[in-house]
Amino acid sequence: MTRIDTRGTAPPRRAWLGLAVLILPVLPVSMDITVLYLAMPTVTEQLAPSATQQLWILDIYAFLMAGLLITMGNLGDRIGRRTILLGGATVFGLASALAAFAPNAGALIAARALMGLGGAMLLPSSLALISSLFTEPRVRATAIAAWTAFAAGGSAIGPIIGGVLLHKFWWGSVFLINTPVVLVLLALGPFLLPEHRAAGRGPPDLPSVVLSIAGILLMVYAVKEAAAAGMTVSTAVAGVFGMVVLLAFVWRQQRLAEPLLDLRLFRHGRFRLAVASSLVATLSGGGMGSLTSVYLQSVAGRNALDAALLGIPGAMAVCVSSMCGAGVARRLGVRNAFGFGLGAAAVGNLLLLGISVDSGITWYMAGSIIVGIGYGIVLMLVPDLAVAAVPPERAGSAVGISETSIELGNALGLSLLGSLAALVFRSGSDFAPTLGETLARTYHDPALADAAQRSFVTGMHVATTTGAGLLVLAATAAVLGSRSIDPTTV
């Protein structure tokens, strides 16, 4: 039984105003996954982080969100989605201010981790509350499309916002812009948003919370350390132990009356399709986004503002296609829509093979637009399927799982595909760990600088082609392996 305190049935205008308040924080929370792509050269110059610290600065935010989303989605179902939403906004706002004025790399990593905690509290609750505001499926799908456009668009425009701000202000401004959005949510949320909690459910299982977070972070640590410094005994032990912890987590969920992760959700073919597709799409997208940002500045020689402007067409493609995703699914069917979106993203990644040291901006523009179309369609369908596949009292948990796949995919794209590109880059010669460091050391040696740039482009080609291969496999599985999914409905 679910208790919903809406202070009366919300009229349509109030429901839409509530939606506007819900999607406000989604933009900065999603944007902060990618906002540092173009800012990293400046951050590196100012704070002098090591190569490993650079990776942690970029993706500790997304990894910590991935580790906490399931917990926070479940917690929102139990103690109140609006309560968790507003608490997350407070944490996110304060952490953003700390990040903006971080005096060193360690402080920035810690602030980004705290931002990840706030983001994990915000995202599942904001999306799950849509099911409380809009109960009619078609209207709810429209509302979710708007939410998704902001979520997907935030990741897409993050580098653009970062580049524009860096042109006028210091690097910390990319975080400080979160503050006004958080203040608006805290001011209007208590009046426009309903509280929603499932009655008769006990508190979350604390051992499950610890196991889920520990398992994900241990696996993340193992992947990152292996990529940065090679496989060592300690790295292998951390990876194996992380896997054992995750298996223990799954085993515990199967035996609890009220599990933190309801494994029964995966019995829904539509839910499985959504989670798998979002993981692969965002993994390839995270790798492509970070690598092309380095290419535009360190190879093509564009400044942060020019690189940001070049990203606008791709960001617009994501926003527009995410609004059209429901229509595509109605015309093609759910599994064919996923196949089309994943296939388009694969084509866009492959177009980056036209990029070289001497030219390639046109190829980048074309690839980013086609990738944006594909990603927009996939990422719009994911939250709608997640919410529609479960009863309202489980919406927060379902959203937590689907959003975990998105954030984990983004972070894995940075670590796995980024590390693959770095491995190819360093195999070419005795280069520094990153292209930026290598170029700084080869100021008086143009030939070596050119060789480093060419090696980086080769590594980028290998990584984005690998991403395209994963997308093709996912598209094939979506079209051929999901026959139980109704092909005519979203």
Q: Looking up tokens 């944006």, which residue turns up?
A: 372
Element (H, E) at 196: strand 195-198
pTM of the model: 0.71
Give the pLDDT confidence of 20-74 residue by residue, as tens digits: 888 877 777 777 766 676 677 777 777 877 767 777 787 788 777 777 777 787 7
Give the pLDDT confidence of 396-439 residue by residue, as tens digits: 566 667 667 776 777 677 777 877 888 788 776 677 777 777 77
Q: Which CATH number fits domain 9-204+260-480: 3.90.1200.10, 3.30.1600.10, 1.20.210.10, 1.20.1250.20?
A: 1.20.1250.20
Q: Looking up tokens 């040696």, which residue turns up?
A: 445
Q: Distance between CA atoms of 254 and 240, rounded to whole angstroms?
A: 22
Q: Looking up tokens 């429209």, which residue turns up?
A: 142
- Averaged confidence pLDDT in the chain: 77
Q: Looking up tokens 């590594």, which residue turns up?
A: 459
**Residue 267's pLDDT band (cuts 50, 70, 90):** confident
- Predicted confidence at residue 11, as pLDDT, reads 45
What's the token pair of residue 193? 């948003």
**In this predicted structure, which of 139-153, 177-191, 321-335 has the lowest mean pLDDT?**
139-153
Does residue 340 come out as left (phi exceeding 0), alpha (psi in the -120 to 50 range) or beta? alpha
What's the token pair of residue 177? 């812009």
Give the pLDDT confidence of 438-454 residue by residue, as tens digits: 777 766 677 777 888 88
Q: Distance between CA atoms of 375 and 382, rounded to whole angstroms?
A: 11
**DSSP alpha helices (H): ranges in 414-445?**
418-427, 435-441
Nearest C-alpha neighbor of 277 from the set 348, 366, 350, 374? 374
First to last CA, the chain: 26
Q: Distance between CA atoms of 269 and 489, rounded to whole angstroms?
A: 13
Q: Does the pLDDT at position 354 exceed 80?
A: yes
Report angle CA 82, 86, 88 to the nearest 5 degrees.
115
Q: Distance between CA atoms of 127 and 72, rounded to whole angstroms?
A: 12
